[in-house]
Amino acid sequence: MNVSDSIIEYLESIGVSHVFTVSGGGSIWLCDSLARSKIRYICNHHEQACGYAAEAYARIKGLGVCIVTSGPGGTNAVSAVASAWLDHVPVLFISGQSFLRQTINGHPGLRQLGLQEINIVDIVRPITKYAVMVTNGGQALGALKMAIKLATTGRPGPCWLDVPGCVQMEKMSHE
């Protein structure tokens, strides 16, 4: 089992029945795991539509989930994050990220080194209850559980997990 399988399996185990997504290279492992699960995935033509669909779904079901790819895929969902933030709606946004850890945020003075890379966590942090990049497989389920707990308790609101491709495909032991 890889990290992306464990993320999707956990979402399924807590009753998530629909996820809104636009597939992309940065989130391809997550989308593959989603396609092999019992969760119904709704593919939109734009990430903003995914975010708003997840927000609308959350208003009815209690938690919405949106999966987008890296770079502009993530930034396209920011308007929906802001809406969920202002209206206190529990939405979990999961983004893919550049595959190589050495390309992520490690080179001062460069805008990007990886393909379509952007630091989405710093962009959404002010309008989320929790925003984190999962840097290794051992953090994935803990970060996922924390995001869901924070999104759905107290004053509800959006949370964001950024999962690099190399982490999505990392092998995990069965727990």
How many other β-carbons are positioned within 10 Å of the β-carbon of residue 164? 27
Q: Evaluate whether residue 174 is within a structural domain.
A: no
Question: Tens digits of per-residue pLDDT, 126-156?
Answer: 999 999 999 999 999 999 999 999 999 999 9
Q: Is residue 155 part of a domain?
A: yes
Beta-bridge mates of residue 40: 18
Average pLDDT along the chain: 91
Residue 175 inside a domain? The answer is: no
pLDDT at 172: 80
- Which CATH number characterizes residue 152's domain? 3.40.50.970
pTM as predicted: 0.91
> What average pLDDT does range 6-28 have in this prediction?
95
Query: Does a structural domain hold residue 173?
Result: no
pLDDT band at 2 (very low <50, low <70, confident <90, very high): very high
**pLDDT tens per residue across span 51-105:** 999 999 999 999 999 999 999 999 999 999 999 999 999 999 999 987 655 555 5
Segments forming the whole domain that contains residue 164: 3-168
Residue 104: the pLDDT is 56
> Is the model more confident about 51 or about 109?
51
Structural domain total, the chain: 1
Cα separations in angstroms, 54 against 63, 113, 116: 8, 31, 24
Give SS3 for 147.
helix
Greatest alpha-carbon pair distance for the chain in Å reads: 45
Is 29 domain-assigned? yes
Considering the domain boundaries, does residue 75 fall inside one?
yes
- What amino acid is encoded at 20 in this protein? F
Tally Cβ neighbours within 10 Å of residue 21: 25
Task: Please work out, in degrees rounded to the nearest 5, the angle formed at the alpha carbon of residue 85 by the alpha carbons of 12 and 20.
Answer: 35
